[in-house]
Amino acid sequence: MPKIQVNGIDLFFDIQGTGEPLLLIAGFACDSSYWSAVMASLVKQYQVIRLDNRGVGQSSAPDHPYTVKQMAADTAALLDAIGITQVHIAGHSMGGQIAQELALAYSEKVQSLMLLSSWAKGDGKFHAIIETLGDLPQILDIKLYSKVMLPWIFTEELYSTPGAIKQFINIASEYPFLPTTHGLYHQSRAILNSDTLDRLTHICCPTLVVVGKQDILTPVKFSEQLAQEIPNAELVVLERGSHGFLIECADTVATVMFNFLTNHSQNRRH
């Protein structure tokens, strides 16, 4: 899998499929593999580009502060390097923050925007959770860290499925590209220092906002605020969805994404 040098780091990326370009940006502590459950559907009609944000996966994890704007600049540099001039973008969680900054600073590159389980400005409770999730890797091993983090990600339904959570913890502990402690810390602080609320009215591309009704980490009110402030944004609230709906409800999320993309493809507009 390829890497390129951008903004002083090695950035890992992956391209699959053909068609209009679609960029997928993962969230805190997650690399490009977080989109795996929806990939089979998306690559049937789109050239899907995934990347590992700085701090995770196979990209560099420099031990100094990160910003969401910086990660957006990394992503824009990747698009330039691979010759993509305009792209549909989907960002999950922190990836949605990065996607917002891309739409604001590089609007000419963004054909449409999908913000999944994301927000413009977190509240006090959310900031306390993110601060803790950034600090805990310094004192917990990956299995204990997963036990702390996963209740914020998945539904009671999954926790009631025998062996499901244990399987996720085992997968996480055996993953070959675990993020570094300092990478997680710097990503968490990038989240805490990000705020797009007073700039959302400047996002001019077609925008879809999606959230799970059962999301306790980035609750529905965050997505309602995004949809209210971004001009003409569409809001979809999934009844069964949690913050981890890309895993728990992958088919449903892929369908919602497809419906939006179909309505905003170049072929349809022309």
Which stretches does DSSP call E strand in 202-268?
207-212, 234-238
Mean pLDDT calculated for residue range 224-250: 97
**Which pLDDT belongs to residue 1?**
58
CB count, 10 Å around CB of 40? 12
**Which pLDDT belongs to residue 265?**
82
pLDDT in tens, 195-225: 999 999 999 999 999 999 999 999 999 999 9
* Position 6 pLDDT exceeds 80: yes
Domain count, the chain: 1
Q: What percentage of the chain has pLDDT greater than the value 90?
A: 97
Pairing of strands 234-238, 3-6: unpaired
Residue 56: closest CA among 173, 190, 188, 180: 180
**Which pLDDT belongs to residue 270?**
38
pLDDT in tens, 93-126: 999 999 999 999 999 999 999 999 999 999 999 9
Helix extents (H) in 62-155: 68-81, 94-105, 124-135, 142-149
Given CA atoms 100, 104, 105, 107 in this order, what sign does their dihedral have? positive
* Position 268 pLDDT exceeds 70: no
Range of the domain at 156: 3-269
Say what the pTM is.
Answer: 0.97
**Which pLDDT belongs to residue 267?**
55
Element (H, E) at 113: strand 110-116
Q: Which residues pair with 212 in a beta bridge?
A: 238
The structure tokens 């002083």 sit at 8
CATH number at residue 19: 3.40.50.1820
pLDDT in tens, 14-44: 999 999 999 999 999 999 999 999 999 999 9
- Give the integer Cα–Cα distance in Å for 95 and 56: 13
